[in-house]
Amino acid sequence: MLREAHPLGNSNSKRGNMISMYSYTLDAVERMSQNQDVESLIEVLSSESELDVRVSAAEKLGKLGDERALVPLVAAVRDTYIPVHEAVVEAVAQFGEKAVTLLAASLFDEEMQQDYPYDSWKLIAALARIGGPQVADALISNIDSDSCYGLIHSVNALGTIGDPRAIPSLIDVLKIDNRDTRQAAATALGEINDIRAIEPLINAYHEGIPYTEDCIISAIEAISDNNKLDNELLDKVNLILKNWYDQRARLAELNRNRNPELDDW
């Protein structure tokens, strides 16, 4: 049931919505769910109740599937507390494509990009949880934009979704002279498993950015193992893989010579 109200009533929060100062209980949330009291559950979600209570409210709203909850749930995706965020993502995902437009709009919102740029990964996580062509379109638009936020998270999500339409954009990301973005792009390309990515991956390998070779080689192997390559491309793949494994063998031998007790790696 409802516990004692805070004397200050409502106050503004950094999440951008009005936060109730009331504190609720799990029993109260259960009764609201049984009564399909969506408005009260929304109030609990934005209250200062304990985390498990707010998590429960998010879960109940997702199961009820009432569209009145969609806007508040999307707003709550950016919640500071990870348990609440994760529960909200699951709830939003149950609305499917109905939630995608709202999530994408939040991702591209100018105020969010300026004031809360690190929240982008939370919105991308919710989009990735839904998946599908509409989500892929939004994420491709994000990594193609001049003011991309959450680039690596968008790239990772596109790899998980596996939409081949992302290949050209991911190849562009692969060309960025940055270790982390190149690792993410190579991994995503390997997950999508499209033969068009092999030549760009080979080119990226030859550029020799440190600590990216493992991801690139793994992607090349994954794609070549699951696709039929023409002879010319197959020769290129075999050559780069031979060079890679020869190099690793030489390094392993050097390490053994320095320390004979080391196991082979």
List CB contacts of 7: < 8 A, sequence separation 6 or more: none
pLDDT at 257 over 90: no
- Give the torsion sign (CA, 108, 111, 115, 119): negative
pLDDT at 102 over 50: yes
Residue with tokens 């991801």: 215
Cβ atoms of 183 and 210 closer than 8 Å? no
Measure the CA–CA gap between 132 and 38, rounded to whole angstroms: 28
Instruction: Determine the pLDDT at residue 59.
Output: 97
List CB contacts of 135: < 8 A, sequence separation 6 or more: 100, 127, 128, 157, 161
Percent with pLDDT over 90 in the chain: 71
Could you tell me which residue, 86 or 251, shows the higher pLDDT?
86
Which H or E run includes 160? helix 151-161
| Token pair for 154 | 């968008």
The pLDDT of 16-43, averaged and rounded, is 84
In the chain, helix, strand, coil percent, each to 5? 70, 0, 25
Could you tell me which residue, 50 or 19, shows the higher pLDDT?
50
Q: By C-alpha distance, which of 133, 122, 205 is closest to 166?
A: 133
- Give the torsion sign (CA, 219, 221, 223, 226): negative
| Token pair for 162 | 């596996």
Terminal alpha carbon distance of the chain: 60
Give CA 261 to chain center in angstroms.
42
Q: Specify the range with the lowest mean pLDDT, choosing from 9-18, 76-85, 152-161, 185-194.
A: 9-18
